[in-house]
Amino acid sequence: MLTLEDALRLNPDLNPNLFMPSPEDVLRSLDEPPVSEWLHFIAAEHTVERYYTVLLFVPCAEKKPYEPPRSALFRKLLSLERRFQSIYMCAVSEPLSLEPREFWNFRWRGHNMIYDAPFFPWIEKYGYRWDENIAEKVWSRLASVAHSWFKRNRERFENVIAFACPDSGYRKILRHVSVDIFVPSEECPSEEETYEENVSRIYTNERLWKALEDVIMNLER
């Protein structure tokens, strides 16, 4: 079993109340502040301020905050943002549904939103039971939030890209979002996933990253 001490080693600035090692913890958090308040904010309030060529949905990462970046994935994403300035990035997350770019420091209305929620089947390696029924309840609720946000903000973007593996929870959260291009279009490479290194290891794969860059370059021309 994972401990709070394990989580604090991974994320020293973690909000201890947002340590959610089991699927049941994640489901419960959706009805408890500050997560419930955040979900309402994303579904009903948050608005993107200007127009962008590309809306890029990206996966969350195990190490937070994202800015300044603590993972290889977000170092690469922020570098990409500097190269292509008409991109608006939004991370996809359990339990926060969406994490808009301007909140990648995880500070929101006085709350520390840094969480630890390894919401993947491999969590069974650490003594927790992965439950598809619970997972589907979580994804369904988060998908509804993402849909509401997208419906309100869609006109801000010319193109919508999702950097999400076909079998990932991220795609399930985006199920009601009109994505123009999914990257990758085929199965993701197999990588050894651990509590300390998982999402970042997969999405910085050379083949996947090049596929994303190629799509963005074509849209920016």
175, 182, 188: which is closest to 146 by C-alpha? 175
What DSSP element (H or E) covers 80? helix 72-83
* CB proximity list for 62: less than 8 A, separation 6 or greater: 10, 71, 118, 195, 196, 197, 198, 199, 200
| The pLDDT of residue 191 | 87
Q: How far apart are CA 160 and CA 182, in angstroms?
A: 9
Mean pLDDT of 34-57: 98
Q: Are 129 and 27 in contact (CB under 8 A)?
A: no
pLDDT at 221 over 80: no
Cα distances (Å, whole numbers) of residue 182 to 68, 82, 97, 107, 137: 27, 22, 18, 29, 23
pLDDT in the model for residue 190:
87
Q: Is the pLDDT of residue 57 over 90?
A: yes
Give the per-residue pLDDT at 85: 85
What are residue 159's phi and psi, to 5 degrees?
Answer: -135, 150
User: pLDDT tens digit string along 81-124?
Assistant: 999 989 999 999 999 999 999 999 999 999 999 999 999 999 99
* CA dist., res. 114 & res. 67, Å (int): 12
Q: Return the pLDDT at 46.
A: 99
Tell me: pLDDT of 67 over 90.
Answer: yes
**What order of strands is seen across the sheet that includes strand 87-93?**
97-100, 87-93, 52-59, 157-163, 181-183
pTM of the model: 0.97
- Give per-residue pLDDT as tens, 118-167: 999 999 999 999 999 999 999 999 999 999 999 999 999 999 999 999 99
Cα gap 175→169, rounded to integer Å:
10
* φ, ψ for residue 93, nearest 5 deg: -145, 145
pLDDT over 70, % of the chain: 100
Give me the pLDDT at residue 49, please: 95
| CATH top-level class of 4-220 | alpha beta
The set of residues, in sequence order, having a beta carbon less than 8 Å from that of 190 and lying 6+ positions away, is none
Q: Which residue, among 112, 188, 148, has the nearest Cα to 39 in the 3D structure?
A: 148
pLDDT of residue 101: 98
Local confidence band at 174 (pLDDT 50, 70, 90 cut-offs): very high
Domain boundaries, the chain: 4-220
